[in-house]
Homo-oligomer: A and B are copies of this chain.
Amino acid sequence: MTVLEAIKLRRSVRAYSPRPIPDDLMQRMRDALRYAPSACNIQPWQFVFVTDPTPRRDLARTAKEQMWMADAPVTIVACGYPKLAYPRMGGRHSSLDIDIAIALDHLTLAAVAEGLGTCWIGAFSEADAKAILHVPEDVRVVAMMPLGYPASDGLIHPVTEAQRKPEVEVFVLERFQS
């Protein structure tokens, strides 16, 4: 599968099979995260791999009770270290969100290529998620992502043109018209 095919096949999978993920495949998923670039190569992150069913359910509860999350065999919780991340734009803007998004995006595309599903989870109680995983005070939970086989093959089909804005709305040639 080419990169562009993976891009077009990637879906937010919200129904998972409990089928375990083989060890060699999990290794490739870890590589996808770990080889990601970050500003100044600081890698200001840690990724918690949660496989115990109880904290997976607890984490799903913090995310607006999206309990389907807990059906995936792994919940990946992306944690970031704000004090380590590169201060972009003269320090007015941290690279933390961007760095972690790059790593997780790598994972989403590598997962598609292996028949696995993921879903970006950005709406959750960070305080509750931190309590569940004993996350240190100065560490942020930036996003969560279930990882597993989709519950059925029918969940995976390419993104359609109708699901995205047309080119004319997305791309600007040379400069904005003032």
Q: Which residues of A come within 8 Å of B, CB atoms? A: 1-4, 6-8, 10, 12, 28, 30-37, 39, 41, 43, 45-52, 55, 79, 86, 88-90, 95, 97-98, 100-102, 105-106, 108-110, 112-113, 120, 122-126, 132-136, 142-143, 159, 163-165, 167, 169-178
Contact = CB atoms under 8 A, between A and B. Distances in A.
Q: How many copies of this protein are present in the complex?
A: 2
A43 B168 CA distance: 13
A89 B171 contact: no
10 contacts: A4-B31, A7-B106, A8-B31, A30-B167, A43-B164, A43-B165, A52-B174, A88-B122, A105-B106, A134-B178
A84 B172 CA distance: 18
